[in-house]
Amino acid sequence: MEKPSSEFFNKLGQYVYQYIDFDGKIYYTGKGRGDRCWAHVNEKDFDPLQCFIVATNLEKFEDKKDWQSFLLESFLIATHSPEQNSVSGHYKDCFIMKPLSQMFTDFQSEQHDNFETLPQWYLDNYPSFFGKLREIKINSGAIFFLSSARNNMYIMWKWVPNSEDPINVQFEINAQDDKLTSMKKQMKEWLKDGGYVKISDKSKDNKMSVDVETIEEVIQLFELFWQ
């Protein structure tokens, strides 16, 4: 993940952040302004993909009477939604709990002209994509593609122009429990039959992914997904 821009960090204002590992364990909590949360990437070798922003723009509370207790009360109402509270809490939008990476991607998309010309490979293969894509998200550094649902499954990938890295193609399965286990097993067998041996899969997750070398191979995989 690239370091977010100073414009992005300025938008966060005064914020609280946490580093949470992929098993959900919180191993660091901090507060700051600017790029403070990113400093740990270099200082402590933290993984930026494990950085979550808990709350933003907390300076909004500074002018309130008894702002310390006011802030804590608002946080607890926003995150726990007590049944007997008549209002949802002040400045509820401050308490977001989102991955830093997702927030920066969304920020880049907001700054970008979404009418930018799509890549030539997309135009050349438009008949293969027609009616089968749910979302195309363009930002300044990449384009994200998400398919429509097919048998409660989705295929998605992010394409970065001029990148020599493999393209990570993800499959998301909209199912739970035994049905999810069964569908993931079928998907693994399908991918292995297609020559994909290295399949990234977390047992409790509804996603799995493979690395694909070229965009042409991604298109072929997309077409096979829809057959």
pLDDT at residue 89, rounded to an integer:
64
- pLDDT (tens digit, 9 = 90+) per residue, 34-44? 999 999 998 99
Model pTM score:
0.50
Amino acid, single-letter form, for residue 147 = S
Tell me what the mean pLDDT of segment 79-90 comes to: 77
Handedness of CA 65, 13, 102, 44 (dihedral sign): negative
What pLDDT does residue 88 have? 63
Residue 114 has pLDDT above 60, yes or no: no
**pLDDT, greater one: 73 or 216:** 216
Please report the pLDDT score of residue 86 as a whole number.
65
Q: What is the mean pLDDT of the chain?
A: 88
Find the mean pLDDT for residues 99-125: 79
Q: Say which amino acid occupies 207.
A: K
Top pLDDT among 174 and 202 is at 174
Q: Where are the domains of the chain?
A: 6-111, 120-225
CB 148 within 8 A of CB 132: yes
Residue 115 has pLDDT above 50, yes or no: no
Contact 158, 144 (CB under 8 A): yes
Mean pLDDT value across residues 46-50 = 94
What Rg, from alpha-carbon coordinates, does the chain have? 21
User: φ and ψ at 98, to 5 degrees?
Assistant: -130, 150
Alpha helices by DSSP H, 88-153: 100-111, 120-124, 126-129
Q: Does residue 12 have a pLDDT over 90?
A: yes
Task: Calculate what percentage of the chain has a pLDDT beyond 70.
Answer: 94
User: 116: pLDDT confidence band, cut at 50, 70 and 90?
Assistant: low
Q: Band of the pLDDT at 108, cuts 50, 70, 90? A: confident
pLDDT above 70 for 26: yes
Q: Is the pLDDT of residue 155 over 60?
A: yes
